[in-house]
Amino acid sequence: MEFCDECGSMMKTDGDKWVCPEGHEKLRDRAKEATMKTTQGQEHSSAVDMSDVDDAEIGPTTRVKCANPDCDNDRARYEMKQIRSADESETRFFTCTECGQKWREDDH
C-alpha cells in the first residue's frame, strides 16, 4: 500500500507509477513493493470455525451488563480497536458470554 505525500490519500498503481485520487503521481519502487503485503487472492477466504474452541482461549472477559434486555448476564469477551483518528480513544467491542449479543462502546 502506498500513500500520497501531497494529500495522504491511498494510491493505486497505473503502469510504472502510483496515482492518488487527486491526480498526484510518483514513480514505483519495485524493490520496496517486493516487501509489501497484499490481500489479493484472499477475497474468497472462508470463515474460521470456532465451535470447538474453549471460551477461555478466545480472549479476555470483563464484568459488564449485556446489551440484550432479555439477558441478565454480566460477563462479556472484549477487544479494543482504533477505528477513528489516532488522537481519539479506542472503541471497545463486546460479545456476551451467555447469549452472544454484540455491541460497541465509544468514549464521547
d(CA 106, CA 93): 9
Was 22 annotated as part of a binding site? no
Was 12 annotated as part of a binding site? no
Was 90 annotated as part of a binding site? no
| Distance separating the N- and C-terminal Cα atoms of the chain | 31
Was 3 annotated as part of a binding site? no
Was 76 annotated as part of a binding site? no
Cell digits of residue 84: 477513528
Was 96 annotated as part of a binding site? yes
CB–CB of 55/96 below 8 Å? no
| H or E stretch at 33 | helix 30-33
> Which residue, chain included where needed, has cell 470455525?
49
Was 103 annotated as part of a binding site? no
Binding-site residue numbers are 4, 7, 20, 66, 71, 96, 99
Binding-site residue numbers for Zn(2+) are 4, 7, 20, 66, 71, 96, 99
